[in-house]
Structure 1
Amino acid sequence: MGAYDAETDRLAVAAREALVREIDAEGAFAGDPVWREAFAAVPRHLFVPYYYVAGPRGYERRWGESPDPEARGRWVRGAYEDVPLATRLRDGELVSSSSQPSLMARMLAALAVGDGHRVLEVGAGTGYNAALLAHRLGAGDLVTTVDLEPEITESARRHLQAAGFHPAVVTGDGSRGVPERAPFDRIIATCELATVPRAWLAQCRPGARILTPLATGLLALTVRDASRGEGRFLPTPAHFVPLRGADRPEPGGVSLAGLPGRAREQETFRFLLALTRGTLDPQEACALWEREGMPERERYGVTVDGEHTWAWLDEPEGPYAWPLP
């Protein structure tokens, strides 16, 4: 990764300051204001030396070492917009991205990281999130990030080194955790899963917190012991690239034909559909959603107990509960 010219560096500083102000104004740092300092300090542009922007003729590649000064300016300003950035495409399909910074801030605040905590990040991406964690936790070998794809872990490692951070970067199946780096106090996933991997619980200390995308929501699970955990969803919607390597049921299309428009258009109804896929058909889900007053995400939760994992509305004991894989 080459050094950038003085004008690019100046633009980066100004754009980063503007991004931090924008995230702050949205209240994303309110849960744990220490993250404001991390976002102000960690240079996102070093983690996205190039990225892709969707346009009328497909994806346009923006590159930090373009010979055109205007193109470099577009790249660095885009690197600090509060949007997800597509960083890897394969046959036109997105396989890796840098998440929306304000969503990252909300997730990190909700993770409730404390001094001295050992943290596992599942889904290394560009390395930016691991850098934010490493900045928060300071010196010490406390952060581990894992990804299945060697090219992703290798580039994340390069980006982290260029920015001056040295967490452990591991190539492997994130659904299996990283047992050699356990036990963990916190696990955060930046990719979508179909369920909570039991291996994660086994690698956590009692009282640990797991934050993972699930069914277009964010689940915050408290670990009781190596085989038990329970928690509720945050109010925030979340859409992530699926975890590669995990056993995932094929999503398949779900027909919304015949459902009332108010349900089809509501994010909370689509969340219920995703959470109960394979258990409730759309008509049953719609009837439940309307009967229960169109519940928001935070009324739902998940329990892991031994070999059984289930999602629920309001209470783990039911009456509304659905098995997860």
Structure 2
Amino acid sequence: MSAHALDKDLDAVAVSARAELVRAIGLSGAWDADPGWRAAFASVPRHLFVPYYYVGVEGGYERLWGGSPDPRIRERWLRGVYADVPLATRLRDGELVSSSSQPSLMARMLAELRVADGARVLEIGAGTGYNAALLAHRLGDALITTVDLEPEITESARTHLAAAGYRPTVVTGDGSRGVPEHAPYDRIIATCALTSIPRAWPAQCSPGARILAPLATGLIALTVHDATHAEGTFLNTAAYFVPLRGTEPAVPGEIPHRPGDHELLRFLLTLTHGTLAPQDARDLWEQEGRPGRERYGITLADEQAWAWLDAPEGSHAWPLR
């Protein structure tokens, strides 16, 4: 049995579990900024996009598969699919290379994307195809493009999307280069961690477009002013994603964290890694009242890119690597 052909008992479990997930996301406040996403999460069956996933066990990972001959494992797989947690979907040499993000974080990001009817969206990081399906449900297949570097990922995402009844454009390619043949975009959303914002993205956007991307354990929301200028601030939420493949690691080198470091200090250490000495970052964080993520921002202007605290031209600014 595949994840696409649940037995009758599990089908009822899926309906119930999806309804409970939607309720949990609503209670979290994730889509308060745009409740229109509730219908997408209520309609798109996540289990069609995650036929198997891995859970951590002592000494490694256990694979849970919807096609297991053991009905107890199938039910465990299904209930796990609809838990509000990220799911490890692909491993390579014991390392996570792809995942299905935590649904409430996906809902928060989609709400913060601030889409309107007719918006053309580019998703960087196809993953399982689930996020593209949510976008396609809300906006329509023709307006959604998703890209991933790995052919096996785009092939499986395309298969999952078709099984669920969605056919957005799925492209195999380097997401850091965007997908110029389908530009211009009104929104770009990345579901993989970055060290900087690729210059190709604003250049493929319409003026006034919004770019939302994970960076330095946070989420940066940029407004595009023109092809070479974009600026914005971080949301106040933490975000941890698999790095964008085809680029340098999302956290280059060793970040000098200390046991007991505050999570917001670790964000600043990561944001300023290689451009501000760790002790200077610690001193700044204390002197400025332990600022949250929402006080930081990023500016792209011509060939320069920098992060800043409180103001783009203020006294605390650092080049992005």
Compared with structure 1, are the counterparts of its residues 250 and 293 closer, same or farther at alpha carbon in structure 2 (3 Å cutoff)? closer
1:311 aligned onto 2:307: yes
Identical residues among aligned pairs (%):
69
User: Which residue number in structure 1 is paired with residue 254 of structure 2?
Assistant: 253
**Cα distance in 1 between the residues matched to 2:135 and 2:250:** 31
Q: Which amino acid aligns with 1:93?
A: E
Q: Which amino acid aligns with 1:316?
A: P
Unaligned runs of 5+ in 1: none
Q: CA deviation at 1:281?
A: 1.6
Q: Which amino acid aligns with 2:173?
A: G
Q: CA deviation at 1:255?
A: 3.1
Q: CA deviation at 1:240?
A: 0.3
Which of 9, 12, 24 is the matching residue for 2:11? 9
User: Which residue number in structure 1 is paired with residue 202 of structure 2?
Assistant: 201
User: Which residue number in structure 2 is paired with residue 235 of structure 1?
Assistant: 236
User: Which residue number in structure 2 is paired with residue 55 of structure 1?
Assistant: 57
Q: CA deviation at 1:65?
A: 0.8
Unaligned runs of 5+ in 2: none
User: Which residue number in structure 1 is paired with residue 157 of structure 2?
Assistant: 156
User: Which residue number in structure 2 is paired with residue 41 of structure 1?
Assistant: 43
**Cα distance in 1 between the residues matched to 2:164 and 2:115:** 22
Secondary structure of 1:83's match? coil
User: Which residue number in structure 1 is paired with residue 280 of structure 2?
Assistant: 284
Whether the 8 Å CA contact 2:148–2:173 is kept in 1: the answer is yes
Q: CA deviation at 1:247?
A: 4.1
**Cα distance in 2 between the residues matched to 1:29 and 1:256:** 33
User: Which residue number in structure 1 is paired with residue 293 of structure 2?
Assistant: 297
Which of 60, 65, 68 is the matching residue for 2:67? 65
The equivalences for 1:171-182 within 5 A come to 171-182=172-183
**Cα distance in 1 between the residues matched to 2:105 and 2:251:** 26
Compared with structure 1, are the counterparts of its residues 128 and 270 closer, same or farther at alpha carbon in structure 2 (3 Å cutoff)? same
How many residues are aligned here?
319
The alignment's TM-score, normalised by the length of structure 2, stands at: 0.97
Q: CA deviation at 1:318?
A: 1.5
User: Which residue number in structure 2 is paired with residue 223 of structure 1?
Assistant: 224
Superimposed CA distance per residue, residues 252-296 of structure 1 (whole angstroms, 9 cap, x where no aligned partner): 223345xxx7xx431110000010000112111000000000000
Residue range with higher mean Cα deviation, 52-61 or 207-216: 52-61
**Cα distance in 2 between the residues matched to 1:248 and 1:227:** 24
**Cα distance in 1 between the residues matched to 2:194 and 2:28:** 27
Secondary structure of 1:51's match? strand
Q: Which amino acid aligns with 1:299?
A: R
